[in-house]
Amino acid sequence: MAVAILTFDAAFRDVSTVILLNSVNSTPLSVLLLEYSTGNQLEQAAALGVIMSVITVVVGVVATRIGGGRLRRKS
């Protein structure tokens, strides 16, 4: 439960940053995803969500490989 509260707190603080980054020429992916979802463009929202998830997983795997898996617990 504590992890959920900390995650929510961090996400809530980042909302204002994302809103401030939004402009006419540049839209963050999270704002674009919200626009698609509220604009009844659910197919585009689902595709963008999958792309964002894949990018997140790939970056995580690459970071783990570069770091040599140093975050693993020693038994």
pLDDT digits (tens, 9 = 90+) for 4-45: 888 888 877 777 777 788 888 888 888 899 899 999 999 999
Give the residue from 18, 14, 38, 39 showing the smallest Cα distance to 28: 18
pLDDT in tens, 40-63: 999 999 999 999 999 999 998 898
Tokens matching residue 39: 């604009």
Mean pLDDT of the chain: 84
pLDDT at 15: 74
